Structures are given as structure tokens and as C-alpha cells.
Structure 1
Amino acid sequence: MDLTDVFIFLFALYFLNLWWRRYSSGRSSQCRLNIPPGPKGWPLVGNLLQVISQRRHFVFLMRDLRKKYGPIFTMQMGQRTMIIVTDEKLIHEALVQRGPTFASRPPDSPIRLMFSVGKCAINSAEYGPLWRTLRRNFVTELVTPTRVKQCSWIRTWAMENHMKRIQKESVEKGYVEVMSQCRLAICSILICLCFGAKISEEKIKNIENVLKDVMLITSPTKTQLECLVPLIRNRRAFVDAKESPNEEMVSPIGAAYVDSLFALKPVERGGELKDEEIVTLCSEIVSAGTDTSATTLEWALLHLVTDQNIQEKLYEEVVGAVGKNGVVEEDDVTKMPYLEAIVKETLRRHPPGHFLLSHAAVKDTELGGYDIPSGAYVEFYTAWVTENPEIWSDPSEFRPERFLPGGDGVNADWTGTRGVTMLPFGAGRRICPAWSLGILHINLMLARMIHSFKWISAPDSPPDPTETYAFTVVMKNSLKAQIISRD
């Protein structure tokens, strides 16, 4: 063994010793706490090997553990203590009634930091001044009624392109690949909201692919920077020159999300945001908003293809609002209760995620009679709430009428403020700040697609509701549908 090998060996022993002392100290302190019950684990690895040996998705294991240990239980995943909360009352207590206590995020792993430069992202920032600054800026600059109206040109432009692409693909292939088409349309909207510019379809597809690869950890963040930094610099030059809107930079100065980031100077960052941090903030909007909205649209269309009665009832409502030859505008969808019922039932039956993003308590506290250490990962398993027969009648059935007068969901609050019956956007301090914008995009796209076309099953690809798990809960076999013009 040469000197280098000896050095490496001693270095490894040193860090193993540090890790063991930290682990032992953490376990000792936990033993003194009354943390929720859970399956016994192995030394060092906890329940990690038990989970891997199950050879099935974590979600299904959670359902079994809930039956055995109750509505709140603990899993030890290596050094990570995970407390799983599945009861609607406990979820509401933690996220809404005691929101500030459970509003933080666990410390990020080094791998996650690769995709969130210096934790400068709304979703992953720990609860504190930086998070407040970023979130307040986001809400003010992107989702206020004034800003939404000011940027309506983007949705008009993207919807026109979307409808043309659907028709073209139908002619060329004989069917429409719903997910890919919806992803591209939503991604177009969000990218243009960020940068205030009309961007070519080729560039949008490239950005979509790069962000997807980064999210799946198959592409380095360097590629992400190379893709988005030129857009940031082009917009910065437009703002610095105080130019007027043109064919490329359509949004006036101040109307693009990135404009607000140029002027933002969080005290915690020591001055202006760097290009890398602006890339992070724009990327999280595009990535999170694209997947959740496109997934919801695909699930909704699956049910409309499967049940033509629901589709025709929606079509009649849309025609009643805008006529057979009219164009569905943003204000029109607010007058369509059946459309809203379909979207709500889709989000209930197929929530984009079965868990919320990981939470953490800002201090040692308690929940449900158990101690919750400040360093623990608190995971809210919200899918169970939408499957609970004590809350929903026939929960496995897709029935939009449950959200109309007389239905069991008529008083359901999808923000969780009044009580937890479904939580597609989270709740409390960490609720998705763009949930209303996402609903607008979903409602507008679905209404236009049903108004222009009748959607039917592709003969060789019948709708398959089997789920699989990617960034969101998606169809194992993407929906392919044929369209028939309503003209």
C-alpha cells in the first residue's frame, strides 16, 4: 500500500467516525422523544433496505403502513427521519392552523443544490426572509389580475399555435399525442411569461427537453445555463435600452417575470441576483407549471374520451357561453361551472403528486400527540385524502357532478383553507403561488379543445388509466386520441 492509499484510507476512516458519531447522537436524542411509531429498521440504513426489497413504488408501501401504524408514522431512511402524515385533520392542523411552524424545507442534499443555485428558489428555500422576498415578488409580478390581463397576448398566441399543431398532427398521424401537445403549449406560455418574448417553437422544444433532462438528473445544469442565459441577457439589453415592445419583445418593460428579477436585491444574497440564480427561478416556474398542468389536461381528456356524455355536456356549456362559431376567451371560462367541476374532479381523482414537497418544522414541536424534531422530514401523503370513503362517496368513480349543487364536493376547498378534502396545490404558507394561473391555463385549453373538436379513442390505442410515477403521477401509456372537427 503506497502513501496515497494510506492517506485515502485514513481520510475515509476519519469521516466514517464523524458520521457514526453524528448518527449515534441523532439516534440517542430521538430515543428520548416520543416520535410516531413505525417499522423497525436496521442499524445505519434504517428502513432503506426494507423499502428497496419491496420492489414496488413507495406510495403503495405507505398505504400498507398506514393500515398498520395509523395516520401518522415514522420511517428511518438512512440518517433521514421521515414522518408521514396521512390524516386530513392533522394535515390541516400542520399546514393551515399552525402554518408557520411547518413552513420550512429540510436542508437540501448536495445533489439537489446542483439544480437550485444557492437555494435561490421559491420551492426549495427554507422558511425565512429570502423565501418571503422571492415569493412576494413572484405573486406581485406574475399572478395579480393586472399582470395576468397584461400578458393575455401570450395565451392567445400560444392557444392559436396549439390548435394548429393539433390539426396538423391529426392529419399526419391519424391521432393526437395529447401529453406532448399539451406540454408544448403550457411550456410556451410559461417561457414567454418569464421572458416577455415570442420564442420559436424549435427553441421552446429545446428548452422543454433541457429542463426535463435536468429535472430527471440526466443532463448537467451547465446545459440549462447555456440554454437560458442568452434569453436573460437579451431581455436585460431590451430593458436597459428602455425599448418599446416589438415583434420579438412583445411584453412591455415590467411585464415579464425576469424584469422584476433584474431589480430584485435580496439582502440575503448581498445584492443583485446573478444570471445563475435567475435561471433557477425561471426554471422552477417552467418545470413545475408545465408538468402539473399538462398532466391534468391529459387525465381530463382521458375521462372525456371514455365518457362521451361528459364530453358532450361540457361542449354544450361552452357553446352556450360563446356560441358555435365564437372563440373561448379567458373571461368566458369563469362562467362555466361544469368545466370547473371536471377540472376539480380530475385533480381529486388524479392529483399531480401523491405527496407534497417535503416540509420541515422550524423548531421542535408536536403533532397528533407525538414529538416532531426540527430536523425531520415531514411528508404529507395527500392522495389518501382524495381516496377516503369517509370524505367522498364512491371515491374511485370519476363524477364531476359531485362538485355541483347537491354533490358531496360542492363545498370542497381545493386550497385547503377551510378544511382538507383535496390538496392538489398544497396548503398554507407553502401553497403553490401560481395555482390560480395554472387553473386558468387548464380551463382555457380544455374549453378550446372541446369547443373545436370531438375527441374519441384511437382504435389501436384505447385509453389506459394505469398510473406510473415520474415528476408527476402520469399515465403509463400516454393518451392518443382522434379528433373530429365540430364545424
Structure 2
Amino acid sequence: MPSTAHFLIVPLCTALFLLFLHKWRRRRRLAPTRPPPSPPRLPVVGNLHQLGSLPHRSLQQLSRRHGPLMLLHFGSVPVAVASSASAAREIMKDQDLIFSNRPALSIPGRLLYGNRDVAFAPYGEYWRQMRSVCVLHLLSGKRIQSYRRVREEETSLMVARIAQLSPSTVDLTEMLASLACDVVCRAALGRKYGAASKFKAAFEEFVRLLGAAPLWEYIPWLRWTRRFDGVDAMVVRVAGAFNEFLESVIREHRVGERRERDGGGLDFVDILLDLQRENQGGSPVDDDTIKAIIMDMFAAGSDTTYTALEWAMTELIRNPSTMKALQHEVREAGGSKVDIDEQDLDKMPYLKAVLKEALRLHAPVPLLVPRELTRDTKVLGYDVACGTRVMINAWAIGRDPSLWEDPEEFRPERFLETSVDFRGLHFEFIPFGAGRRGCPGVAFAVAVDELALAKLVHRFDFGLPDGAKMEELDVSESSGLTIHRKFPLLVVATPHH
């Protein structure tokens, strides 16, 4: 007669077989049959050691050896890196939906109220509602046009400050950063705040933290080091400072008088509070959402805006013949006017080409904001697994010699001969991203950049301090999410008569 053990053998074997089958199928799903090429990696850290201080440049070099789509490992995190227009098109257009999620990053999550903003929010219903709020209510063409007076006043104030300092050396980086911050302050918050310098310092820390990538973000068992590396303390301090400031702004808007009932002159906080009141009970626009969206607007509307201007002026100073051609166009269009206004910009195609060329060479956020794949798929014929993080090297694509003739040269003329634009339809030129997760504030930023650039070259001739040669101007880059000049742009600005 069979023992009890014999009766257990069949179910036990069946259970073991099913477990093996499950693990085998899961392994096949997580380890694609034809993954993208990968550089060799080290134990534990993976490929993190290959990023260096300027990841966009390091990844460009790796892509030249391993191809336009690579699979890297940052610690335990698989990361697909796209470095070609064709790979970007597949990710941001052909398969945009499944590449539209954001990875859960702890630092942005804590700075942005659990990712209640638009840039870092996970893909889903909340994100769709908030993006719709931004596109329809905050960043529509009509709304951007309503801030024309703000742009014209603030750019004129900047020009006046520079003129007062002439012939002394001017920190143009500081001037452009203040301009961008003041424009966003007035558009988003309704006015410039007295503690501007304190606000600016806190904002610089905020941007640095958004781009921080501590080891414990990629190697979970190193999370205990957070107590000693100072990052947590900085996050707490910066988040607390901004929360206190934004709380006071919201209180001020709730009790203050409305400036214009028809909405024409309302700032972003007014508009968001209106939406909150109109949808009481069922609205996702709570106070934390308002604060998170305002922080988004500062990061996108201030930091990247002045970065584009800073690099445009850098390249113009390094290329005197291009500067002269631009000054000729702007001064001709301005005629006898003392001050350029936005109406004149339509007569300046070369100015628009200069700005495009600066953005091609110096994408403000060179690796864009990372995405996360929500199901298994193929890209360029390679298998990429669900959960893979995705980085798109917009900086490398803008310098791809297969797409651009003499890609390292600053030649605005190339944009006079093509319809290629940066609004997400041409994947060889994506400084603001594309698809669902493309930047919704492009028009806001470009309106400031074009006017500021026109006024600067209209009003001044530029040189370098101590008679330094233009061609020797340092173009070293800083590190971080947004790539600024490593050193401030110091110039001598001589008023043109």
C-alpha cells in the first residue's frame, strides 16, 4: 500500500514545475531576447562610473561605440539611452503612450509635494488634468500675450541696469537670471517679491537638487547613507523654505483684491485659485497642487529661459561676424526707435535662427526629463523591458553629424534654409522634448528669449574684459539637470548710438 509520502510527490512536483515555469517566463520577460547593446558594467554600480560630471557628453561618447540605443545599468536600474532622431521618434511619437510615465524619483517627489506638478507627475488621470490646466489656462496663446507688458517692462529694466554699469564689467549671467526670475514672478505670483535675492538663492538650490542623482537612488541598500551625505538635510531646508514662501503667496492672493475680474491680467495663482473655487469638492487643484505647479513654472520658465539666453550671447560674442549680422537686422527693424518691442520681432528671421542655433548646440536640459516604460516593446528592433528607465540625449541629437552639416559650428544660417523647429515635430531638434511629455511652456520661454536678445543686441556692442579675444571665451559647462555656463558671462557692454 502506498505511503502518505507517495501521495505528496505528484502535487509537490507539479508545484515545483509551475514555480519553475513562472520564473522562466518572468526571466524571459525581464531579460529580452535581443536587448540593446550594452557597455561592460561593474558589480553593484553597473555603468554609473562611466557617466562623469557631464553625463550628456559621456553618453554621447558611449553611443558612438555602442549605437543610437544603448542599455545601461545605473546600479540596479536598467536605463535605455536614445541618441538618434529615429530612436527619439519611436519613443516620443510612434510609441509615446507607453513611454509617457515618469520614474519615481525621491528628491523631486519630496520637493514637488509628492509629484503633484506636471513635469514629474506619473502618467495618469491626475497628470492629464493638470497638463490640461496648464495648456488651457496658464500657457495658452492668449494668456502668454496678456503678459506682453510684463516682458517689455522687465527687458527694458534689464537694459537700463546694464547701461548704468557701462563701461564697467557686467555679469550678464546674473542680469539674465534676474530677468527670467522677475518675469516669472510677475506672471506666476503677480509681483516681484522684496526678498528676491533670498528667493533666487533658494531656487538655485532647488534646481541643483532636481538634478541630483545620489548613489542610493540607484542602489537601494545604500539608502542608509542618506543620513550622512547632507542631501536629505538640504531637501528638507529647501522644501521648507519654498513651502513657507508659497503659503504666504496663496494667503495674500486669497485676501487681496482682484486686479481684473475679466481674467486678462490675472497671475497663475489667481487662475489656479479660481479653478479651485469653481470645483470645490471634486477638484484635484488643492493648495499643494498650486504650489507644485508654481514650482514647475519657475523651473521651466526661469532656469531654462535664462540658460538659452546665456548660451546665445556666449556664441554671439565668440562669433563676431554673426553678432554683426544680427545687430544689423535688429537695428534695421527697429529703425529710429529707442526701444525694440514685440511687434518688431516678426521682422527678425535671423534673430529667430540665432536662438534656434543656440538651442541646437546647448539644449538647456540635455537629457530631458527621464521616462519609464510601462510595457515590453521594441525600439529600433531591440527588445526593451517594462520598467526600464529611458533617457533621450537631445544634446547629442542636436550635434549628430548625420543630421547636421558641421554640427559643432555655430551657424544660424542653417535655420534660414529649413522649416525645422523646436516645437516637437522634428526629432532631430528636440531641446524641449516632444509628445505627451513635451514642455508645455515653450511659447512662454521663447517670447522672453526673443525680446531680451533683440533688446541686448539693439542697444549694446559687446566686448570682453581686459581686451580678451572673443574667440577665447570659455565655454565650459556646469553639471546638473540644466546645463549653464560653468563660469559667469562677464562682458563690457557699450551703448550703441
TM range (shorter): 0.7 to 0.9
Q: Is 2:210 aligned against 1:210?
A: no
Question: Residues 212 and 287 of structure 1 are in contact (CA less than 8 Å); yes or no, is this contact kept in structure 2?
Answer: no
Q: Distance in 2 between matches of 1:272 and 1:377?
A: 28
Aligned to 2:398: 386
DSSP 3-state at the match of 1:130: helix
CA 1:26–1:376: 2 relative to 1, 3 Å: farther
The alignment-based identity, stated in percent, is 26
Q: Following TM superposition, by how much is the alpha carbon of 1:460 offset from its aligned partner in structure 2, in angstroms?
A: 6.4
Q: Is 2:418 aligned against 1:413?
A: no
Aligned to 1:97: 94
DSSP 3-state at the match of 1:475: coil
CA 1:457–1:391: 2 relative to 1, 3 Å: same
Q: Distance in 2 between matches of 1:229 and 1:429?
A: 30
Q: Is 2:253 aligned against 1:260?
A: no
Q: Distance in 2 between matches of 1:134 and 1:464?
A: 41
CA 1:361–1:388: 2 relative to 1, 3 Å: same
Question: Residues 365 and 482 of structure 2 are in contact (CA less than 8 Å); yes or no, is this contact kept in structure 1?
Answer: yes
Q: Is 2:127 aligned against 1:117?
A: no
Q: Is 2:233 aligned against 1:222?
A: no
Q: Distance in 1 between matches of 2:414 and 2:160?
A: 34
Q: Following TM superposition, by how much is the alpha carbon of 1:482 offset from its aligned partner in structure 2, in angstroms?
A: 0.5
Aligned length: 445
Q: Is 2:39 aligned against 1:39?
A: yes
Question: Residues 53 and 479 of structure 2 are in contact (CA less than 8 Å); yes or no, is this contact kept in structure 1?
Answer: no
Q: Is 2:191 aligned against 1:198?
A: yes
CA displacement 1:94-147 (0-9 Å, x = unmatched) = 2022222212212x2333311111211100011221111111111122322321
CA 1:300–1:32: 2 relative to 1, 3 Å: closer
Question: Residues 137 and 271 of structure 2 are in contact (CA less than 8 Å); yes or no, is this contact kept in structure 1?
Answer: yes
Q: Distance in 1 between matches of 2:78 and 2:26?
A: 10
DSSP 3-state at the match of 1:187: helix
Letter in 1 for 2:144: V
Q: Distance in 2 between matches of 1:205 and 1:155?
A: 20
CA 1:273–1:136: 2 relative to 1, 3 Å: closer
Question: Residues 373 and 385 of structure 2 are in contact (CA less than 8 Å); yes or no, is this contact kept in structure 1?
Answer: yes
Q: CA RMSD in A?
A: 2.7
Q: Following TM superposition, by how much is the alpha carbon of 1:420 offset from its aligned partner in structure 2, in angstroms?
A: 1.7
Q: Distance in 2 between matches of 1:353 and 1:423?
A: 10
Aligned residue runs from structure 1 range 47-446, under 5 A: 47-48=47-48, 50-51=49-50, 56-106=53-103, 108-170=104-166, 174-195=168-189, 197-200=190-193, 202-217=194-209, 218=234, 219-238=237-256, 243-244=258-259, 255-264=266-275, 271=283, 273-405=285-417, 410-417=418-425, 419-446=426-453
Q: Following TM superposition, by how much is the alpha carbon of 1:161 offset from its aligned partner in structure 2, in angstroms?
A: 2.0
Q: Distance in 1 between matches of 2:294 and 2:465?
A: 37
Structure number with bigger Rg: 2
Q: Distance in 2 between matches of 1:70 and 1:150?
A: 46
CA 1:401–1:373: 2 relative to 1, 3 Å: same
Q: Distance in 2 between matches of 1:136 and 1:362?
A: 22
DSSP 3-state at the match of 1:484: strand
Runs of 4+, deviation exceeding 6 Å? 24-28
Q: Distance in 1 between matches of 2:468 and 2:479?
A: 21
Q: Could you say which structure has the greater relative contact order, defined with CA pairs below 8 angstroms and 6 or more residues apart?
A: 2
Q: Following TM superposition, by how much is the alpha carbon of 1:388 offset from its aligned partner in structure 2, in angstroms?
A: 1.6
Q: Distance in 2 between matches of 1:309 and 1:41?
A: 46
Q: Distance in 1 between matches of 2:290 and 2:27?
A: 39
Aligned to 1:455: 462
Q: Distance in 2 between matches of 1:25 and 1:482?
A: 66
CA displacement 1:10-59 (0-9 Å, x = unmatched) = xxxxxxxxxxxxxx9987752355321213434444333x437xx55333
Q: Distance in 2 between matches of 1:32 and 1:387?
A: 31
CA 1:230–1:371: 2 relative to 1, 3 Å: same
Letter in 2 for 1:237: V
DSSP 3-state at the match of 1:391: coil
TM-score, structure 1 as length reference: 0.84
Q: Distance in 2 between matches of 1:142 and 1:271?
A: 17
DSSP 3-state at the match of 1:403: helix
TM-score, structure 2 as length reference: 0.83
Q: Following TM superposition, by how much is the alpha carbon of 1:346 offset from its aligned partner in structure 2, in angstroms?
A: 0.7
Q: Distance in 2 between matches of 1:104 and 1:193?
A: 29
DSSP 3-state at the match of 2:493: strand
Q: Following TM superposition, by how much is the alpha carbon of 1:343 offset from its aligned partner in structure 2, in angstroms?
A: 0.5
Q: Distance in 2 between matches of 1:393 and 1:351?
A: 18
CA 1:253–1:272: 2 relative to 1, 3 Å: farther
Q: Following TM superposition, by how much is the alpha carbon of 1:80 offset from its aligned partner in structure 2, in angstroms?
A: 1.1
CA 1:310–1:254: 2 relative to 1, 3 Å: closer
DSSP 3-state at the match of 2:484: strand
CA 1:198–1:56: 2 relative to 1, 3 Å: closer
Question: Residues 299 and 346 of structure 1 are in contact (CA less than 8 Å); yes or no, is this contact kept in structure 2?
Answer: yes
Q: Distance in 2 between matches of 1:205 and 1:253?
A: 29
Q: What are structure 2's unaligned runs of at least 5 residues?
A: 1-23, 210-233
DSSP 3-state at the match of 1:118: coil
Letter in 2 for 1:76: H
Question: Residues 87 and 379 of structure 2 are in contact (CA less than 8 Å); yes or no, is this contact kept in structure 1?
Answer: yes
Per mean C-alpha deviation after superposition, the further-off stretch among 137-146 and 459-468 is 459-468
Q: Distance in 1 between matches of 2:265 and 2:322?
A: 42
Alignment counterpart, residue 481 of structure 1, candidates 465, 478, 491 = 491
DSSP 3-state at the match of 1:114: helix
